[in-house]
Structure 1
Amino acid sequence: MRTFVSVLSAVFAGLLLSACAATQQPFADDPYYSPIPPEPAPRPVLKTGSLFAQHHSNSLYSDNKARHEGDIITVVLRERTQASKQAKHESGKDSSVTVDPMIGLGGRAVSVAGNVLQFGANSTSEFTGDAKADQSNSLVGDISVNVLQVMANGNLVIRGEKWLTLNTGKEYIRLTGIIRPQDVDVNNTVESNKIANARIEYSGTGAHHYGQSPGWLSRFFNGPLWPF
């Protein structure tokens, strides 16, 4: 009885967790991905009285690249992944057990209706497993993001998102990561494969997106929380 109650409690807990997870959907203008305007840096007071700020100046031969908090940089998405895996396993086992005839009085074998009492058992088990998985993904496009922070070593922390409304559904791209200023080209762009600790999310919302996913109850029965 206790086992049944425990299983029933786990089922209801899984249903509740699945329902809560299903309600947490991405939305546009998420405060986490919203641009953060940089605070105005105080200008150092120079002894000469000049308004020239050395740390904000560019030489005549420098490029117009993102260098400070709040600057905009374009990320060129060139993500392609391909994976293949194959596994095969075979096993077999044969066993046989025989018990000698039972001996009764006088050293004769015990019999019933002329049949000698003798026991034997044979068992055979075989298992064959074959698994194969192929997966490939491709993401090509551009997204402009903001420089969130300039680290002490000069690297730039970037973050941003882009939302597209197509008919009745919406698609979005979110990106976070760390880049080196040296990897930014003269057009103020950087390739996505040069982003460290990159987090790239491409998905969507709406009827077309939800129609491709099973319901939360189906996800529960097919998930690890279902004990059977």
Structure 2
Amino acid sequence: MIKTSVINIRLLRSLMALMILGLLAACSSAPPKDQSADYESAAPKAETDDLGNMGSIYRSGYGMSLFLDRRARQVGDIITVTLEEKTDASKSSSTATGKESNLGIPTVTLLGRGVTHNGLPVVNSSVSSDQDFSGQGTSSQSNSLTGSITVTVSEVLRNGSLRVRGEKWVTINQGEEFIRIKGIVRPEDIGADNAVPSYKVADARITYSGKGALADANSMGWLGRLFQSVLSPF
């Protein structure tokens, strides 16, 4: 009796330790890192004033081209990214297996007569087994994001491609919604309106989220995260 009580106490302590570890794991989740610095607008390089040729008609840095393409091509230029993201995925699987076996065993005989007990054969004359398995699974997912966001060119790569980044914040009532995007754009994909669709942005990282009371209401609490953690014994 004493030994059983000791085992129960140890089991209870182990369960309490697992609960505490799960609670610490749920509470110690660090808040998401603020990545605003990664999406800050890139300012164009400052041009130094050339005071040479004073008094002449030509002055460096004051030229104007009547036929220059105004599409983004330098660091700090502005380009509009049209969000046209839509993905649909579905998957289904089905499995069915079956197996049936029959085995016959001849009756045991002794001196030409079958061995029986109370009129029944000592050894069963047949063995049969039947196994069946069936499984089915279905998964589907659909995402859609439309809109537009204006970003700046942060870097011009050696092959001429443009690395862009930017964010847009909208404050509505008690919450803030923001869109962030960064990636690489080919100058050839930029339209005459200085815009490019999002599906032509290479290595695109698009984030659409929010902060505030509404976002907090849609997030799971720490107790719920505890029971969803891998350390939960349930």
Pairwise TM-score range, normalised by the shorter structure = 0.7 to 0.9
Within 2, Cα distance between the matches of 1:45 and 1:96?
103
Measured against aligned partners, the alpha-carbon deviations of 1:40-94 in whole angstroms (never above 9, x if no partner) come to 36689999x97536xx976311232222222221111111222222222111223
Report the Cα offset of residue 164 of structure 1: 1.6
Structure 2 residue 165 is matched with structure 1 residue 159? yes
- In the alignment, is the contact (CA less than 8 A) between 2:95 and 2:135 conserved in 1? yes
Normalising by the residue count of structure 2, what TM-score does the alignment of the two structures yield? Answer: 0.71
Task: Give the residue type in structure 2 aligned to 1:64.
Answer: R
Structure 2 residue 68 is matched with structure 1 residue 78? no
Report the identity percentage: 38
- In the alignment, is the contact (CA less than 8 A) between 1:101 and 1:110 conserved in 2? no
Structure 2 residue 95 is matched with structure 1 residue 89? yes
CA separation of 1:102 and 1:171: change in aligned 2, threshold 3 A: farther
Q: How does 1:212-227 map to 2 (within 5 A)?
A: 212-215=218-221, 218-219=224-225, 221-222=227-228
Structure 2 residue 38 is matched with structure 1 residue 62? no
Q: How does 1:94-173 map to 2 (within 5 A)?
A: 94-96=100-102, 109=115, 111=117, 113-119=118-124, 122-173=128-179
CA separation of 1:200 and 1:109: change in aligned 2, threshold 3 A: same
CA separation of 1:227 and 1:182: change in aligned 2, threshold 3 A: farther
Report the Cα offset of residue 141 of structure 1: 0.7
Report the Cα offset of residue 178 of structure 1: 0.2
Report the Cα offset of residue 195 of structure 1: 0.6
CA separation of 1:135 and 1:148: change in aligned 2, threshold 3 A: same
1:32 to 10, 31, 38: 38
Query: What's 2:217 paired with?
Result: 211
- Secondary structure in 2 matching 1:32: helix
Within 2, Cα distance between the matches of 1:141 and 1:130?
38
- Secondary structure in 2 matching 1:31: helix
Within 2, Cα distance between the matches of 1:117 and 1:151?
88
Within 1, Cα distance between the matches of 2:174 and 2:43?
32
Normalising by the residue count of structure 1, what TM-score does the alignment of the two structures yield? Answer: 0.72
Q: CA RMSD for the aligned pairs? A: 4.1
CA separation of 1:43 and 1:128: change in aligned 2, threshold 3 A: farther
Report the Cα offset of residue 154 of structure 1: 1.0
Within 2, Cα distance between the matches of 1:212 and 1:177?
29
Within 2, Cα distance between the matches of 1:161 and 1:143?
7
- In the alignment, is the contact (CA less than 8 A) between 1:172 and 1:204 conserved in 2? yes
Report the Cα offset of residue 95 of structure 1: 3.5
Report the Cα offset of residue 206 of structure 1: 3.2
Q: Across the two proteins, how many residue pairs are aligned to each other?
A: 220
**Which runs of 5 or more residues in structure 2 are unaligned?**
1-6
Within 1, Cα distance between the matches of 2:19 and 2:105?
48
